[in-house]
Amino acid sequence: MRSRPNYLAGIAAFAWLLIIGTPLYALVNSAFMSQSGYSDRGPLSLPSGITFENFATVVDSGFLRYLWNTILVAAATVAIVLLLAVPISYAVVRGTSWLTRGVFRLFLLGLAIPAQAVIIPLFLIINRLGFYDSLWGVILPTAAFSLPVSVLVISGGMREISVELYEAMTLDGARPGRILWDLVIPLSRSSIASASVFAALQAWNGFLFPLIMTQSDSNKLVTLGLYNFVSEYGANIPALLAAVLMSALPILLVYLFARRALVAGLMGAGGK
């Protein structure tokens, strides 16, 4: 009954396809153009005379190192977030003390703390701890600011586990640690995956922390590499756009091979 095609929506969706697609076409098209070709024909022309020299320029500028650093930061961030957020969520969902209830409210409020707002004292703390100009200086605050969303998402998933299962394990004499490992973690897998995807994307997207907390070229992340690339190669627009394209390459690979997991993960980040 509801399967009558909705032509109006179809037209709107096609218009949206143009809005999304046109800049992406311009991006990919220009990244494979020579500099003179770009200034002659512009970003929206039909492809002709494909060249890879822009990518060579980007690689020569040390971009692969930045990509690798970003991958390291994202992996470490996810590891720290999971190590901390899973026990917190478990305590929030199953704990009985007034403290654990307060913890949930605290993280709910923490959701609203903009990283920008605390960057000055944070800069001092990172300095004091001796993490300035190291990847840890980026990883630690990024993980901290991913905690609120992760706790909300993971505790949301853990709440769905039925009480009977807990009771059954309790009767078997299982202790909290064992219940967490054998029951809670396996059954809240999808929300844990969501939190990981979200934390990884936070790290991937991060700009402010790398900008403030690192300095040397060897600790540069890809977002900052792009920023510097603009000032160094500002006139070479095709190379700039090739750099943009390359910065998305690892995550594009994830998208191609694990689209379902990535999409489901992000979808879950909104909570229920």
Toward other proteins, which CB reaches closer, 8 or 216? Answer: 8
Sign of the alpha-carbon dihedral angle for 104, 200, 202, 206: positive
CB of 83 to other proteins, least distance (A): 8
CB of 130 to other proteins, least distance (A): 14
CB of 214 to other proteins, least distance (A): 13
Which amino acid appears at position 13 of this protein?
A
Toward other proteins, which CB reaches closer, 251 or 261? Answer: 251
Toward other proteins, which CB reaches closer, 51 or 237? Answer: 237
Cα 132 to Cα 127, 138, 167: the distances in Å are: 5, 9, 48
Toward other proteins, which CB reaches closer, 75 or 266? Answer: 266
3-class DSSP state for residue 209? helix
Closest by CA to 40, choosing from 247, 238, 254, 262, is 238
Which amino acid appears at position 206 of this protein?
G
CB of 34 to other proteins, least distance (A): 14
Contact assessment for residue 42 and residue 19, using Cβ atoms and an 8 Å cutoff: no
CB of 40 to other proteins, least distance (A): 10
Closest by CA to 202, choosing from 251, 258, 257, is 251
CB of 50 to other proteins, least distance (A): 19
Both tokens of residue 179? 């219940």
The string of DSSP letters for 241-258 reads HHHHHHHTHHHHHHHHHS
Toward other proteins, which CB reaches closer, 49 or 175? Answer: 175
Toward other proteins, which CB reaches closer, 51 or 161? Answer: 161
Indicate the helix (H) or strand (E) that contains 227. helix 222-233
The angle subtended at Cα 60 by Cα 54 and Cα 61, nearest 5°, is 95
